[in-house]
Amino acid sequence: MGSLLILVVIVICVAVPIVIYNRLVRARNEYRNAFAQIQVQLKRRHDLIPNLVETVKAYLTHEQHTLENVIQARNHAANTLAAAVARPDVNTEIAQLAEGEHQLSSALRHLSVVVEAYPELQADRAVQSLSEELAGAESRVAFARQAYNDAVLAYNNARETFPASLLADFFGHKSNAAMLQFDDHAIIRHAPKIDLNR
């Protein structure tokens, strides 16, 4: 009876760390995959912006500063995305990505206000098509961000709960993953849109 008890204890001592390790790896892979989906959607969004700027440039000859701000914000956001893709487990990279996207959203909102002053621009089919694509991209980004944050929450919970919290550091899971946070909570509720149909 004593040897059976010792065998059960040994099996538990071996099985529990294996289960914890596998659970942590699965959770980390899920949030990394969710981040890859954000990357796809943000890249699509970033790729649409130069086309939109080029299309409206002829109408907005007196608004070159606004267009330059949008392109600069887009390039900065693309750079922060590239840095975050290179190091998705570094929390400061995720924070800088969020800030870059916040700046881009602000620049797009300002462009939207400027575009509203040009009725002929609002009627342009190419501009309407691009703005619809951009609005769709914004929605997909919002869904991808939510999925990423859900996966990060699951990973952080797996890392912090007992008994995994005792072994997480040993298995290389030394810190929580960063959620994609925003300074302006209105951006979460309302994706920025360029509405040319007013």
Which class would CATH give 2-189? mainly alpha
Domain boundaries in the chain?
2-189
For the segment 66-113, what is each residue's pLDDT rounded down to a tens digit? 999 999 999 999 999 999 999 988 899 999 999 999 999 999 999 988
pTM of the predicted model as reported, rounded to 2 decimal places: 0.80
Q: Look over the chain and give the mean of its residue pLDDT values, rounded to a whole number.
A: 87
Distance between CA atoms of residues 91 and 97, nearest Å: 10
* 126-152 residue pLDDT tens: 888 888 898 899 899 999 999 999 999
Structure tokens, 118: 């040009």
pLDDT value for 129: 87
Q: Return d(Cα 84, Cα 101) in angstroms, integer.
A: 12
Residue 183: pLDDT band with limits 50, 70, 90? low
Alpha helices by DSSP H, listed for the chain, are: 2-57, 64-86, 91-115, 119-123, 125-160, 164-167, 185-189
